[in-house]
Amino acid sequence: MRRRWLVSGLVLALVVAVSGLAAASDALPLPAPVAGPGGHVLRIMPLGTSSTVGIGSPATAGYRGPLEELLTRDGIAFDMVGSQRQGPPWLPDPDHEGHSGWVLPQMQPLVTGWVRAARPDVILLHVGTNDLLRGTSGAQDAGRLAAFLDAIHAVSDAYVIIAGVWAPLPQQTGPSRCAVST
């Protein structure tokens, strides 16, 4: 259990770092990837919807491009896994399990097959936003996400990092007003 928290923390730190970074280390030579104990290569499954595919940021494949650059820079041997393959030509490993526009009920019946086939060590999960955008309540979305996680854990011991669910912002019809309280 302690190892799971340690690996989860490491991957979460990488995801957080990637979200705030652009590719800025082009001039530095990259070390060769170093396999983990027993020569193990970390199998990472990016699983989700449009942000996983990279819709809106095709030059970086969303977060996947910067994450791969950081992992490579730090010499971490990895293999992105999933049944989908997309990304810019420079992306060394374009595998993922992203399905743009899908909602959790569409993914739920398929997730166990995807996870079994890919055999990931870590799953980077970014789902639920489309559900909210289509009118699902926060409570319903949380219930769907819990069932989704249960399905994953029924077939895998992979560490699951939930990247987040972006709640839709309320639409304003007039001038924007901000209130700051201290």
Tens of pLDDT, residue by residue over 49-99, are: 998 999 888 889 989 999 999 999 999 999 999 999 999 999 999 999 999
Torsion angle of the four alpha carbons 65, 66, 68, 71, in this order, in degrees rounded to the nearest 10: 180
CA 87 to CA 96: how far, in whole Å?
10
- Taking alpha carbons only, the member of 45, 43, 42, 40 closest to residue 114 is 45
Query: Domain 32-40+47-162 is in which class?
Result: alpha beta
The ranges assigned to domains in the chain are 32-40+47-162
Tens of pLDDT, residue by residue over 7-24, are: 444 444 444 333 333 333
Please tell me the pTM assigned to this model.
0.75
